[in-house]
Copies of this chain bind each other. A is one copy, B any other.
Amino acid sequence: MSLNSAGPIDSALMDDLVAASRILADHGVLDAWGHVSIRHPGDANRYLLSRARAPALVTADDIVEFDLDSNPIDQRDRRVFLERFIHGEVYRARPDVNAVVHSHSPAVIPFSVTQVPLRPIAHIAAFLVDGVPVFDIRDAGIERGMLVVNSAQGKALAGTLGDKPVALLRGHGNVVVGPDVRRAVLRAIYTEVNARQLATALTFDSPITYIAADEAQEAVRLDDAWEVWKRDAMKE
């Protein structure tokens, strides 16, 4: 561990971070390139993210510590994600956020490239009730295709996200945040599920009743869901 490290984290939290990566891959939310991070519980200016590695393969040994400028504290020979700036800038802008997911969640893509807003129709996706902003990398300047590869682009994305739990990235995917990693995982999964369901409802050509503000409440307990998701995801 580097002298500059904010120190080791609790093994249960590390287990959750690793499981988060595997669970999101198992649910098809993360493909071979997405990533999930947590804010360091001992230092709000640090976050933990795997080295560049397919999410389904991540283990505790792959986790690297970063500062909010997204510099690795102890990189050694480990390759890091080009898009780590998404994490750093969201943590900087959002003190309430302790976990960040960046995914290519397949069902959100159609909502990211059209004028049709992604809104919640299923209660487990009620966290989307205040709207899902869409970030267009073009507005932040193209640097490397559609990728968010520097702090300025990361800041622009964090600005689009504002105080919301989810923002879409046009033609790319989304960023999903939460107060803890389990909540961020739940949100990432049900953003995908709700997108599929809404796409079907939109073909009905009938008025849609969306979840209303007073109906929105993250009521579901996560302990049991986490247990079964983790069991399924950790099977090889």
Contact = CB atoms under 8 A, between A and B. Distances in A.
A114 to B, nearest CB: 4
Contacts of A217: 144-146
Interface in A147-188: 147, 170-172
Interface stretch (A39-47, A67-75, A94-102, A115-123): A115-123
A99 B133 CA distance: 40
A114 B206 contact: yes
A57 B33 CA distance: 27
B207 A145 contact: no
B122 A145 contact: no
A197 B52 contact: no
A219 B54 contact: no
A23 B146 CA distance: 26
Interface residues on A, range: 35 or more
Contacts of A227: 54, 57
Copies in the complex: 4
A203 B203 contact: yes
B145 A206 contact: no
A140 interface: no
B202 A204 contact: yes
Interface of A: 25, 31-33, 52-54, 56-57, 82, 104, 106-107, 109-110, 113-116, 120-124, 126, 137-138, 142, 144-147, 170-172, 193, 196-204, 206-212, 214-217, 219-221, 224-225, 227-229, 231-232, 235-236
Given A53-B224, A57-B231, 14 more contacts: A32-B224, A57-B228, A104-B122, A106-B193, A110-B201, A113-B208, A113-B210, A115-B206, A122-B171, A122-B172, A123-B145, A123-B171, A126-B146, A171-B215
19 contacts: A32-B224, A52-B221, A54-B227, A56-B228, A56-B232, A110-B197, A114-B204, A114-B209, A115-B206, A116-B204, A120-B171, A123-B171, A123-B172, A137-B215, A145-B216, A147-B219, A170-B209, A171-B209, A203-B203
